[in-house]
Amino acid sequence: MTATVLEGKVFAAEIKKSVHKDVEKFIESQGIIPGLAVIIVGENAASKVYVANKHKACEELGIYSEVICMPASTTKQELLEQIRILNESTTIHGILLQLPLPDALKHDEAELLKAIHPDKDVDGFHPVNVGKLAIGQEHLVPCTPAGCIKILELANVEIAGKHAVIIGRSNIVGKPMANLLLSRHATVTICHSRTANLPSITSQADILIVAIGKAHFVTKDMVKPGAVVIDVGINRLADKKLVGDVNFEDVKEVAGAITPVPGGVGLLTIAMLLSNTVKAAQLQCHKEHK
Ligand code: NDP
């Protein structure tokens, strides 16, 4: 058996098409354009590429996009002031603080993320949005796990009643992923670096989500035949090649369906950011009219 390959570009195109329609509807009904501001601090080359891609994707779908580049020497106060201005702006509906921050600001990350208004928090990292997700009131949900759910839904993978195993418990992927699957009635197991006998757990998964950051970590002996495997990992090998956390060639022999890296989950992340931006704009207009 060879797994069905779940191509990110197919799902991302579908989401973008629907977001584009929502943007047009929003502009028509409200007379304003949804707006996203991305703040980037310092000179991280990978971050600059991500931010440029986000800007381009916004332009394609008719979303107003502002990229605010601040020098690595920016202080916490200056950044808080910038966030305050964007929180009060009527043209900006979504605010994203590009991570990682320069070393000098790393220990302020939680405070800075908390300064973004929860209704403009398109990354879904604000404690209010984290809490809402945990109690089943999805508001603005982190883009990568939201993208994984979209892949499962658009590929018609049944979630309710299935055993979903997640490897990784980070705040940006593993934990929100667990809550999203739980609220869709999966039975959820979360594994991490202290999990004992990992393969005995992963091989029970109907849906296996892998987000650890270790190249080719998951091999076919860890996967139940027919399982749906979603690979979130992005790892660069010594030869510069990008690979996932799953050994794709090996696992595709036993899995029922599998996402590739590159060309899988990563493409959904930006699509979900655009979706969150329109959702944020809708939420803010709805509140204004109440
Ligand atoms: P983190 O480093 O924050 O978390 C990694 C998690 O994996 C931790 O919970 C850690 O456990 C667990 N882990 C590490 N080693 C093992 C092991 N040997 N066995 C079991 N669990 C292990 O990573 P992120 O969640 O931020 O990202 C994970 C991967 O996803 C990375 O490759 C990242 O680049 C990628 N990513 C991709 C995105 C996309 O758009 N496609 C977006 C975000 C991330 P513990 O908690 O015990 O340390």
Give me the CATH number covering residue 49.
3.40.50.10860
Q: Which ipTM did the prediction report?
A: 0.99
Q: How many angstroms does the Cα of residue 168 sit away from the middle of ligand 1?
A: 5
Name the token pair of 253.
């022999």
Q: To the nearest whole percent, how much of the chain has pLDDT over 70?
A: 99
Question: Number of folded domains in the chain?
Answer: 2
What is the DSSP secondary-structure string of 144-172?
A: HHHHHHHHHHHTT---TT-EEEEE---TT
Determine, yes or no, domain membership for 74. yes
- Domain limits for position 239: 143-267
Q: What is the pTM (predicted TM-score) of this model?
A: 0.96
What is the structure's pLDDT at 286? 79
Q: If you take atom 4 of ligand 1, which residue's CA is the nearest one?
A: 170
- pLDDT < 50: residue spans in the chain: none
pLDDT, one tens digit per residue, over 198-256 is: 999 999 999 999 999 999 999 999 999 999 999 999 999 999 999 999 999 999 999 99
For residue 152, give the CATH number of its domain.
Answer: 3.40.50.720
Q: Which residues line ligand 1 (CB under 6 A)?
A: 144, 167-170, 172-174, 191-195, 198, 211-214, 232-235, 265-266, 269
Residue in 44, 173, 190, 246 to alter for ligand 1 test, most ligand atoms within 8 A of Cβ: 173
Whole-number Å distance between alpha carbons of 269 and 8: 10
> Is residue 88 in some structural domain?
yes
Return mean pLDDT, the chain.
96
Whether residue 103 is contained in a domain is answered as: yes
